[in-house]
Amino acid sequence: MTAAAGPSPNSPDIPGISPEVYETNSPTATVQRRTLRVLMSAQVVAGVGMGSMISSGGLLVEHLSGSQATAGLATTLATLGAALLSVPLAALSRARGRRTGLGAGWLIAAGGALTVPLAAGAGLLWVTLLGMLLIGSASAANLQSRYAATDLAEPRARAGALSLVVWSTTLGSVLGPNLSGPGAVLARPLGLPDAAGTFVFSVVAFVLGWLIIHTGLRPDPLLLAQEQQPTTSAEREHKERFAARMRTALRHVAASPAALTGLAALVLGHVVMVSVMTMTPVHLAHEGASLSIVGFTVSLHVAGMYALSPLVGRAADRFGRVPVILLGQVVYVAATLLAGTAGNRQWAVAAGLFLLGAGWSCATVAGSTLLSESVDAAHRPEVQGMSDTLMNLVGAAGGALSGALTAVYGYGGLNAAAAVLAVPVGALALWFSLRTRSTR
């Protein structure tokens, strides 16, 4: 391609990157397609492990502690584990590539999933909770996989590539909650609580996820992307001090209204989802629902989170990130209204949980893309790691409070409190949209 001809429609001229990088038949495009296949395969398999934990974690903790108020600790600690491990895993990816960072995440999660049934069988609540904390590494790896999909993606297709990896989690995560019944059958001859059996499946799923990433993610997309851009001495120093630069990441986000909007959608949207999802299995169990109904409801929720993500990604690429973020807030309010007023109508709870997942998909796909593309490449990995940390820290706080809120105000009160959090995100997105139109 000559300078006179200019960049083609499919190869935007990005500073520091040759337009040829984005040609459909370029070596980089071939690597990108392979990267997507590997990431999607790992998400399908490892999603089983995450889905199993969502449906059984709260019930297992309630069984061991004998208290409904502590049931939310399972999700709280898993979310906190994701928060604590997001930055170290991102730093590891920055230094040694996505293959090492993501692989470490799945292996740590496998260790946590192995700890849970062993500790539960011995009646050791706190060791069980430690295992839940380590399982949070799976969420960190899952979230960072979506960013790995954008390392080599064309700018106009970033949301679509990210959404494909999010979508690929659907099959495993929908299957995982429905393993509650087989898990109970497996647990009884082993002398384990019924809810502990599904974690055996989680161990296998996380190990297989690591194996797929370790053997298939070659060449590494992040390392290849770094090779394609000139690295200055200042950027090399920046890499060496990566783990200590969260303040710098926050400053870069604060300086960009677009990045700030994306971060708010991610963080507050995540706490809405986590807080309601955490107590739904416990609420259903108290209303007399069987393990199968609980698993089916969680499966619908997970399907809402992941199954629609390709459509969400295409909408974000076509109509813009902010309109999709706004749509997510509307869906959140509808979901919490439906679930919060359901009472003992199990179908209404299930429908509300599906909408809750769909709202999370809109907020996460559009918010992640907006955040990632609104900061320069030199600071992008640390901003991504910081956003995942904040998502999970706030989500952990929501999970921790959800049990107490439910005990005091009921499941309806919990949903009402969650719905309030959609308001500031919607207001910020509207402000940014109006500001952008005024500037134009």
CA distances (Å), origin 322, targets 150, 301, 425: 19, 23, 10
Token duo for residue 36: 């997507």
Nearest to 337 by CA among 293, 276, 406, 428: 276
Residue 25: per-residue pLDDT = 60
Per-residue pLDDT tens over the stretch 167-222 = 887 777 777 777 777 887 888 888 888 888 889 889 999 999 999 999 999 888 88
3-class DSSP state for residue 14?
strand
430: its two tokens: 């509207």
Specify the pLDDT at position 384.
Answer: 77
Tell which residue, 437, 418, 438, 309, has the closest CA to residue 368.
Answer: 309
Q: Which residues contact 67 (CB under 8 A, 6 or more apart)?
A: none
Q: Is the peptide bond before 323 cis (omega within 30 degrees of 0)?
A: no
Sole residue written with tokens 């320069």: 376
Q: Where are the domains of the chain?
A: 29-217+248-439
CB count, 10 Å around CB of 255?
11
Q: What is the CA radius of gyration of the chain?
A: 21
CA–CA separation, 404 and 356 (whole Å) = 21
- Our measurement of the distance from residue 375's CA atom to the centroid of its chain's CA atoms, rounded to an integer in Å, reads 20
Q: What is the pLDDT of residue 238?
A: 47
pLDDT value at residue 127: 92
For the chain, give the number of residues: 440
> CB count, 10 Å around CB of 15?
7
Cα separation of the two ends of the chain: 32
Instruction: Specify whether the CB–CB gap between 360 and 309 falls below 8 A.
Output: no
pLDDT at position 5 is 38
CA torsion, points 24, 26, 30, 32, in degrees to nearest 10?
A: -80
Quote the CA–CA distance of 403 and 75 in Å, as a whole number. 11
Q: Which helix (H) or strand (E) holds 353?
A: helix 346-373
29-217+248-439 topology per CATH: Growth Hormone; Chain: A; (1.20.1250)
| pLDDT value for 357 | 92
> How is residue 212 written in tokens?
């797929």
Successive 10-residue mean pLDDT values, the chain, 440 residues: 36 35 63 90 86 75 76 78 84 87 95 93 90 91 85 78 81 73 82 85 92 92 77 46 60 81 91 88 79 79 84 88 94 94 86 94 91 75 79 83 84 92 91 76
CA distance readout (Å), 307 to 42, 265, 372: 16, 20, 22
How many Å apart are CA 85 and CA 90, to the nearest integer?
Answer: 8
pTM for the full predicted model: 0.70
Q: How far apart are the C-alpha atoms of 263 and 243, rounded to whole Å? A: 19
- Asked if 164 and 40 count as a contact pair (C-beta separation under 8 A), the reply is yes
| Residue position matching structure tokens 């994701």 | 82
What is the C-alpha separation between 150 and 158, in angstroms, rounded? 6
